[in-house]
Amino acid sequence: MNRFWLALRTFWRTLTEADFAARVEPLFSDRPTGPDLRILAVLQRDGRLVDFLEEDIDGYGDAEVGAAVRDIHRGCRKALHDYLSIEPVLTGAEESSVRIPADFDPAAVRLIGNVDAKPPFQGVLKHHGWRVRSVRLPVLPVARDDSSVLSPAEVEIP
């Protein structure tokens, strides 16, 4: 990475583009912000994920949890697919054998078991992993994301 060049470009675009400046500004802020929160807000909005994770479910029977989870699952799944394209890192079937070349990316593939074997590795695919192929976050810039609200309180006026 040529940091000098990056710094110049950032300087210039921050100076000339309001949208770009609005996206840089949060980097200097301590407030919780950023794309991760947007995804979480969307999962709460469309699938009530935060409500679900924050609820104490010990007191409910399996049938009650099951019925609700179906709905939460449907909402979250749709939201996930609306905003992200997710695909397996490795395409083979799980529990089938897989060959990992010597120059594999340790961030994308994790070896377990006899990790000292000689490459290329011959192993069994235990979990195919996930990666994001494309992100379709809201069209609007992040600038307005200047708040810690994941989901607004709702008040009905009769």
Partner 1 sequence: MARYVVGVDLGTTNCSLAFALAEAEDPTKPSPIEQLDVPQVVGLNDASPRPLLPSFLYLAAPGEFPPKALDLPWKAGADRAVGVFARDHGAKSPGRLVSSAKSWLSHAGVDRRSAILPWSAPPEVAKVSPVEASAAYLAHLRDAWNAGAGKDAGGRLEEQEVLLTVPASFDAVARELTVEAAKQAGLAGVTLLEEPQAAFYAWLAEAGDRWRKQVKVGDVILVCDVGGGTTDFTLIAVEGRDGDLALNRLAVGEHILLGGDNMDLALAYSVAATLPRGMEGLDAAQRVALNHACRAAKEALFADPKKKSAPVAILGRGSKVIGGSIKAELDRETLDRVLVDGFLPMCEPTDQPAKGRRVGLAEIGLPYAADPAITRHLARFLNRQAGSLHAEGGVIRPSAVLFNGGVFKADPLRNRVLEVLSNWAGKPVPELRSNDLDLAVARGAAYYGQVRRGRGVRIRGGVARSYYVGLETSAPAVPGIEPEIKALCVVPMGMEEGTDADVPGPELGLVVGEPAVFRFLSSTTRRDDPVGAVVERWAPEEIQELAPLETALAVEGESEGATVPVRLHARVNEVGTLELSCRSARDDRRWSLEFNVREPGEE
Which residues are near partner 1 by CB under 8 A?
A: 42, 45-46, 48, 51-52, 54-55, 57, 59-60, 64-65, 67-68, 70-72, 74, 82-83, 136, 138-140, 144-145, 152, 156
Residue 13 or 38 having the CB closest to partner 1: 38
Chain centroid to Cα 39, Å, comes to: 7
Cα distances (Å, whole numbers) of residue 2 to 5, 9, 111? 5, 11, 32
Cα distances (Å, whole numbers) of residue 144 to 22, 35, 38, 65, 141? 8, 12, 11, 36, 7
Shortest Å distance, C-beta 116 to partner 1: 47
Q: Which residue has the tokens 């994770």?
A: 53
Shortest Å distance, C-beta 82 to partner 1: 7
Shortest Å distance, C-beta 148 to partner 1: 13
